[in-house]
Structure 1
Amino acid sequence: MAREAMRSRWEIVIADPADAAARLRAAGEEAFDEIENVEAQLSAYRPSSDLSRVNRSAADEPVRVSPPVLSFLTRAAALSAATDGAFDLTVGPLLRCWGFAGGEGDLPEDEAVRQARTLVGMRENVRLDNDATTVGFARAGVWLDPGAIGKGYALERALDLLREAGVRNALLHAGTSTVGALGTPAPGAPGWTVAVQHPTRQDARLTQVCLRDRALSVSAQHGKSFWARGRRFGHVLDPRTGQPVQDTVLAAVVAPSPTDTDALSTALLVLGAAGLPMLAARFPDAHLLVAREGPEGGGPLQVDTVGDAWQDVTPDG
């Protein structure tokens, strides 16, 4: 089963016995509907979404949102705090400053980056009122971008619906960035085997994992980028400095929650190997992998891991 949503192709594979095929298909369609519902609520590019209304008006007055959206924003704020700001939903002004909000990127002036940084930071710039279910901004120009967590959150909501419908064994993914698994693909199997693509060698595998009631998210530097002053600038930005991530080319996280894995893989890409001890201490159920370029950009990748989820790690592809 497959459907397009959130600018990705979503697929569900259900491995439960086929004697309830109609019920299983209905459960899969309901899960897809929930993904589309999350997109309708959280898209920063749909004018009617709760998030777009917040971005337009929350600097002028608190904006009332649905309880699920407030819950999502509360969780995003907690993940920002837990990663010391390496993941932050307010990175939007920096994406705009660097030309990555709908474009391929452009080198900004230092002063423009400095100004954009004043708008970044959920703790300083976003006010969440649980009693009134409203969102307010501390100043004009704050802009929430759900790109580093939205798919994981949608996947988690969809998996919850599959469980509620009685589905015991399934794999749900949005492209290669986030994968969630229930149960196993067959009786006696340890779990669902999922490969992590090598970030610099096409058609090569960096590692693989076996997922059972867990999720995998991968963040990598491939994608939007541009060259300037003899350097490559990628689209993954450090919310704390306002600068594109350098050296680290891929980060991957396995944990029970797809929402967590999505946000943490971005945070780990920003933090690099130096962030492994902190994230391992704060998220003890998470398995972490970070890959960076070899010396002077050549040779095999340098790969560091935490946890035993990573199988057959092959830095040279």
Structure 2
Amino acid sequence: MNQIGTKKKLKHVILFASVVMATFFLMSFLAGCEQGKTVTRSDFLLDTFVSITLYGESDESLLDQPFERIEALNTTLTAFETGSDLGLIKENAGIQPVVVSKDTYRIIEKSIEYSKSSGGYFDVTIGPLVDLWGIHSPEIKEAPAREAINETKLKTDYTKIVLNPDDQSVYLTDAGMSINLGAIAKGYIADEVMQIISAEGIKHALINLGGNVMVMGGKADNSDFEIGVEDPRNPGNGYLGVLSLKDGSVVTSGDYQRYFTDAAGQKYHHILDPFTGYPSKSGLIQVTVSASKSVDADSLSTTLFLLGLDEGLKKVESLPDVEAIFITDENHIVVTSGLKDTFVFDKKNYGNTYTITVR
């Protein structure tokens, strides 16, 4: 969840345009889900295009509290805001613990759980590597030197996060360490916002945090929402198929979302492997995860991408209420068995490009 910084405004305008395009395609699948009343609000938050739609409602003020919550978390969880929790944790790494907000503590605590269960592939202390690579909007530049990568990689180690529940403090034991919540924050925020919406008595809703989608209650007629799974070879211009869902979250991670290309034409995407320090070479180009909680779907989409197909499938099989769609660099789609009846592949338009297997 890279936040808006003064030096990045031009890149963010470009990103905003691309996300709007992607969201247009997503919403085209969902537009018919309520023929009656709807209220919708959109904004540019969390460094992306955010929208919330409530179906069967006409009171736009119902969106005030959800958006206030997003804005508050946007400030709390950013690594770029002066005086933010993450900024203070970074400044005090190797020096002293920092007392943080309830949200910051909870999300870091949850991140450590994911790190342990993934064998370290999911690691929010990857912040120094993220900063070193500086991968945002598509551009041409050179990769960092191997020596710099190896040196910076030593600052990535989730076991060096020390939490103290008594005073709700966070401490990074080594100087130069920092936390980046880009692989989990939007999922956490989506869950928090959906709780507010549910508490307001709303029965049918859709939250889209720049591709992190969460739905509740299905359509007004009790049928499923239909969520498009993007074509990673031609992002923003088509969907490989449609995933049907009444309740839960769908999150996608892919190598086409943020990347740069060097002068020789080598592409470097933004999903960094904490063990190598380089962009992942797991053999996957996209992973879409369906889970009941968005925080799970968000963290798992990155974890499964890093694990690769075989280990990723084992991981999904070990988890309740989690399903996934893997796409390999050989254009093979692998769908876990729980999505056999809910994911419909567009064979007519993509059958000559992709092969598909249900496992």
The normalised TM-score by structure 1 is: 0.89
1:35-184 superposed matches below 5 A: 35-100=70-135, 106-123=142-159, 125-175=160-210, 177-184=211-218
Partners of 2:119 and 2:162 lie apart in 1 by 18
Partners of 2:128 and 2:143 lie apart in 1 by 14
* Pairing partner for 2:344 from 298, 312, 317: 312
Is residue 266 of structure 2 the alignment partner of residue 231 of structure 1?
A: yes
- Structure 1's 32 and 313: CA in aligned 2 closer, same or farther, altered over 3 A? same
Is residue 336 of structure 2 the alignment partner of residue 303 of structure 1?
A: no
Aligned residue in 2 for 1:200? 233
Q: Secondary structure at the match of 2:183?
A: coil
Is residue 217 of structure 2 the alignment partner of residue 217 of structure 1?
A: no
Aligned residue in 1 for 2:50? 10
What one-letter code is carried by the residue in structure 1 that aligns with 2:343? Answer: Q
Q: Percent of aligned pairs with the same residue?
A: 24
Q: Secondary structure at the match of 2:119?
A: coil
Cα shift readout 1:281-301 (whole Å, capped 9, x = no counterpart): 44221111111122xxxxxx1
What one-letter code is carried by the residue in structure 2 that aligns with 1:164? Answer: A
What one-letter code is carried by the residue in structure 2 that aligns with 1:208? Answer: V
What one-letter code is carried by the residue in structure 2 that aligns with 1:139? Answer: D
What one-letter code is carried by the residue in structure 2 that aligns with 1:8? Answer: T
Which stretch of structure 1 is more off in the superposition, 278-287 or 139-148? 278-287
Partners of 1:229 and 1:4 lie apart in 2 by 34
Equivalent residues, number: 303
Partners of 1:242 and 1:232 lie apart in 2 by 15
User: Is contact 1:58–1:135 with CA below 8 Å preserved after alignment?
Assistant: no
User: Is contact 1:215–1:258 with CA below 8 Å preserved after alignment?
Assistant: yes
Partners of 1:96 and 1:69 lie apart in 2 by 20
The normalised TM-score by structure 2 is: 0.79
Cα RMSD, aligned residues only: 2.0
User: Is contact 2:136–2:259 with CA below 8 Å preserved after alignment?
Assistant: no
Aligned residue in 1 for 2:322? 286
User: Is contact 2:70–2:189 with CA below 8 Å preserved after alignment?
Assistant: yes
TM superposition shift of 1:157? 0.6
Partners of 2:204 and 2:88 lie apart in 1 by 38
Aligned residue in 1 for 2:4? none
Partners of 1:103 and 1:130 lie apart in 2 by 41
What one-letter code is carried by the residue in structure 1 that aligns with 2:129? Answer: L
Partners of 1:103 and 1:140 lie apart in 2 by 31
TM superposition shift of 1:81? 1.3
What one-letter code is carried by the residue in structure 2 that aligns with 1:38? Answer: L
Cα shift readout 1:120-139 (whole Å, capped 9, x = no counterpart): 1212x211111121111110
What one-letter code is carried by the residue in structure 1 that aligns with 2:83? Answer: S
Q: Secondary structure at the match of 1:34?
A: helix
Q: Secondary structure at the match of 1:308?
A: helix
TM superposition shift of 1:226? 1.8
Partners of 2:165 and 2:315 lie apart in 1 by 28
Is residue 220 of structure 2 the alignment partner of residue 186 of structure 1?
A: yes
**Unaligned segments of structure 2, at least 5 residues:** 1-40, 355-359
Partners of 2:303 and 2:63 lie apart in 1 by 31
Partners of 1:29 and 1:214 lie apart in 2 by 22
What one-letter code is carried by the residue in structure 2 that aligns with 1:187? Answer: D
Is residue 267 of structure 2 the alignment partner of residue 267 of structure 1?
A: no
Partners of 1:120 and 1:160 lie apart in 2 by 33
Partners of 1:307 and 1:63 lie apart in 2 by 44
